[in-house]
Structure 1
Amino acid sequence: MRPKIYIDGKEGTTGLQIYERLGARDDLELLLIDEEKRKDTEERRKFLNAADIVFLCLPDAAAREAVSLIENDHTRVIDASTAHRTADGWAYGFPELSDDHRAAIQTSTRVANPGCHATGFIASVYPLVAHGVLSATDALTCFSLTGYSGGGKKMIASYEAEDKTNDLYAPRVYGLNLQHKHLPEMQKVCGLATPPVFCPVVDDYYKGMATTVMLPDHNVHIVWQALSAHYAGQKMVKVAPLGEGAPMISANTFSGRDSLTLYVHGHRSQTIVTALFDNLGKGASGAAVQNMNLMLGLDETTGLTL
């Protein structure tokens, strides 16, 4: 019997991208709610409880409500919102971080999908803390360049309008209050004493992300060796040969792909690590499908583009 899959919030960018990855597969049964009833609580309750795995592609409050509507022990949830990323009882959906993370995803009934910017930061920092290259008390700085698709339908429409305003043609720095919603998971998952100083930037291209962590007083060879050892043998996260990509790397390099590659540059006393990936791929929908594959005991790359 094929696993039954329901996407609550299929009309949003993340939901549509998940549907696109699952729609052509014959090993799953997609449960599709009537468009006129997709906001009907009782109808959603039926679908949520009929599914083996549910993807929540909803605002935080709606995601919490959806979880409360599940009244059985068999429906497993992958939440793409921010609502449960640091919540007790939820596995953090980044299997490459450790064997424990992978095992938790495989066995859990509740998995929180990582945030896009957080994915790039954590991919770089978690292994360096785990291997003792960084200390939990180190003060870290990160900037992250993303395409506008991560901003949802309203932002996409503003960037693609024929009469868009002049400021949309240039990179725009945001999160200026230094309280971006991804910071709690960045800090908690990496085990940091304080959150990083984090500067996100959105630019005039559809998708792709370059998240760069700056490491003063760290030898580039030591950083590269630690990251390479940590991700050796992984299918979805790779470390490029030292210095590859110079003199320039582009944030949209991995557009359309579901994998992530770390690029390490610098010298004996200063290093930067840049995670290149698709904000809608490993940064959202691709990661969600990867987690679903693991939960179902399938090869994690099934239906994904590397």
Structure 2
Amino acid sequence: MSYKVFIDGSSGTTGLRIADRLDGRPELELLSIPEESRKDLHKRAETINAADLAFLCLPDAASKEVIPLVEPHVRVLDTSTAFRTAPGWVYGFPELHGQREKIRQANRVAVPGCHASGFICLARPLVELGLAPADYPFTCHSLTGYSGGGKKMIAEYQDPDRPVLYSTPRAYGLTLHHKHLPEMQAVSGLTAAPVFCPIVDDYYAGMEVTVPLRMELLPGVTPQAVAQALADYYAGEALFTVHPLGETPADGMLAAGAMQGTDRVQIYCTASPDGSQMLLISLFDNLGKGSSGAAVQCMNILLGLPETAGLE
């Protein structure tokens, strides 16, 4: 069976990566519109409605503008932040317990944010399993490559005349009001948003998300229990690897770009010698499981195709 698929916003970073992953798949027919109609709202809506499934790789406002014109039966995967906590939309993270079946039955799926994916995959299981209370004061640092900022940021970083400080890590979201915070809180089941510090650095792709834990705030919970709970939670998931407590690369360093070019996630769990502190780390590609790879994975589920088809 062949499915008609349309990528609205196919010229952006996310849209291009999705198109790469769909290229050459005989079960998919990619629809397109003329370049001059790329910003024509009604032409876009007409093409979306001719598809079995559409990816919206657009700014929030553009997604919100076209959705009212989309017929209810068309399956839509939106990659913006517009609908990630909206009623009637399913969050596209199939590895979370119960989420895969919700995605399978949905017609409106919001693809998770990159930073959010790294945090949620660490925090959600702890809250869901009762190892951390919903009011635990989570903190998160997230290091990303500059491709996460889209075409504009990519051009800035690749400009030979860029400012010298672009060669150093740069923290942003300094007002603690980052656009991923609503989904980080809601999907993790928290009563308050985490303290979140995103950082962009001078490399193209790859993400390293760290969540520290103070074990005295989790009475009766040990680092071993946390590490085992994460391993059990993601057991059997093709795209997840959870390393045993304390297992790290031989040099004791974790490079943020280690998963670049893949659609997989690696989770590391470390602890202080006395067990009073713990560090949870997720490594993945911000353009892979943090964006385009996650979108294609959800498409496969929605269309009843092998879940990892087209993934790297």
* Common topology (TM > 0.5): yes
CA contact (8 A) 1:128 1:223 kept: yes
1:300 corresponds to 2:307: yes
Q: Provide TM-score, normalisation by structure 2.
A: 0.95
Find the counterpart in structure 2 of residue 236 from structure 1: 239
Find the counterpart in structure 1 of residue 135 from structure 2: 137
CA distance in 1 between counterparts of 2:304 and 2:25 reads 16
Letter aligned with residue 89 of structure 2: W
Alignment of 1:257-268 (within 5 A): 257-267=262-272, 268=275
1:153 corresponds to 2:154: no
CA contact (8 A) 1:12 1:152 kept: yes
Find the counterpart in structure 2 of residue 270 from structure 1: 277
CA contact (8 A) 2:213 2:278 kept: yes
CA distance in 2 between counterparts of 1:244 and 1:163 reads 41
For residue 105 of structure 1, report the CA deviation from its aligned partner: 0.3
For residue 236 of structure 1, report the CA deviation from its aligned partner: 1.3
Q: Alignment partner of 1:226: what SS?
A: helix
Structure 1 unmatched ranges of 5 or more: none
Give a deviation string over 1:29-76, Cα, whole Å, max 9, x none.
000111111111221121010011010000101001121121x33211
1:107 corresponds to 2:112: no
CA contact (8 A) 2:128 2:189 kept: no
Alignment of 1:34-183 (within 5 A): 34-70=34-70, 72-98=71-97, 100-183=98-181
For residue 163 of structure 1, report the CA deviation from its aligned partner: 1.3
Q: Which runs of 4+ in 1 moved over 6 A?
A: none
CA contact (8 A) 1:178 1:199 kept: yes
CA distance in 1 between counterparts of 2:104 and 2:138 reads 31
Find the counterpart in structure 2 of residue 29 from structure 1: 29
Identity %, equivalent residues: 55
Letter aligned with residue 78 of structure 2: D
**RMSD of equivalent CA atoms:** 1.0
Q: How many residues align?
A: 303
CA contact (8 A) 1:48 1:69 kept: no
CA distance in 2 between counterparts of 1:245 and 1:291 reads 30
CA distance in 2 between counterparts of 1:275 and 1:66 reads 34
Find the counterpart in structure 2 of residue 208 from structure 1: 206
CA distance in 1 between counterparts of 2:69 and 2:21 reads 26
CA distance in 2 between counterparts of 1:302 and 1:152 reads 25
